[in-house]
């Protein structure tokens, strides 16, 4: 995190490996970062564990960056994540895209998703649909990118 601070990161998405060592480790890196840690679909006791998105001003452009984490953290590290729940990647991207479009004048919306191309596990929901689920939303998101 110190190196990322030095390099002036704009943001980082909390991926599955940040959860390998439990919530105290996640809290520490979030506190140590001088930039937003993003994760729109991971919750602790009903509240998001990190910011779902950030707005970045770069030159003449305003960019929204949505961060999506891997919902399988509970499969891999659930024993270290008491009180943690995850939601579907597509439902979060869709809701946040609508929120950003309604509340900000952005030139682009970028989704940084720490997920695979397709689902790794199937639990009877679309929660772990991976990039395949997000791609169904690309018409809306892509139209925003074309504004650049």
Among residues 36, 32, 38, 39, the alpha carbon closest in space to that of 3 is found at: 32
What average pLDDT score do residues 33-41 get?
97
Mean per-residue pLDDT of the chain: 85
Please give the structure tokens belonging to residue 103. Answer: 């509340």
Residue 132: per-residue pLDDT: 57
φ/ψ (deg, to 5) at 2: -60, -45
Query: Taking residues 120-129, what's their average pLDDT?
Result: 58
Strand-pair partners of 88 = none
pLDDT top residue among 111 and 138: 111
Structure pTM?
0.85
Any alpha helices (H) in the chain, and if so which ranges?
Answer: 2-6, 23-32, 73-77, 89-103, 130-135, 138-146
Q: How confident is the model at residue 141 (pLDDT cuts 50, 70, 90)?
A: very low
């Amino acid at each position: 995190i110190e190196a990322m601070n030095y390099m002036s990161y704009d943001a980082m998405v909390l991926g599955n490996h940040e959860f390998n060592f439990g919530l105290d480790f996640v809290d520490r890196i979030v506190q140590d970062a001088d930039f937003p840690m993003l994760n729109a679909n991971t919750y602790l006791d009903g509240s998001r564990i990190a910011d779902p998105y950030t707005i970045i001003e770069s030159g003449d452009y305003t960019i929204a960056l949505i961060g999506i984490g891997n919902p399988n953290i509970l499969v891999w590290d659930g024993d270290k994540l008491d009180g943690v729940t995850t939601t579907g990647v597509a439902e979060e991207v869709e809701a946040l895209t609508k929120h950003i479009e309604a509340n900000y004048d952005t030139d682009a919306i970028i989704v940084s998703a720490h997920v695979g191309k397709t689902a790794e596990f199937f639990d009877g929901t679309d929660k772990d649909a991976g990039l395949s689920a997000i791609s169904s939303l690309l018409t809306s998101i892509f139209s925003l990118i074309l504004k650049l």
